[in-house]
A and B are shown apart, each in its own frame.
Chain A
């Protein structure tokens, strides 16, 4: 079964600094990988996804992630943090079972931006 580990339940960076949120996955098949963001009292919003092809994936709000098969990683980065990036971020891997599908989520990383 697939699993996801997000390193660091809380990450704090200064405004304008690099954002790096770490995600490692375990999968017995080529994975589909996703990053979601959740703002308070809201649902999850898709930031970006990797399915096949280019391993560097660009998403919304200036975020990007790189799929590294050898490291089983899918870290999320943003060159310059903005106050509006403060939220909780979830990495997820797709788990396919007999045509059905579910996402297996990591425990989440809460990102705080310091002014």
Chain B
């Protein structure tokens, strides 16, 4: 079945550590890719998105993601996390011509001060 996979559901790290969250999808062809963040008690907000061009995408709050087509991956990175990055992170895939977003199960990230 077509799906979006996020591994390591729970991630705990210290401030200033580097963060990388994996996202793999199983859809063939052209896709649009998104990372959303959900801070505690809040709604989902867009971090960044990729639809074409440079496969390295810069987002808000120092996040970036790299699209590797051959690996069907769109991993999220931040070189140095802060306590305020504690949140749940969702990868999502949209197929062209289709309004639906397919979400991964999310990564719960806790940053210890």
* Co-complex (A, B): no
Residues of A that sit less than 8 Å from B by CB: none
Residues of B that sit less than 8 Å from A by CB: none
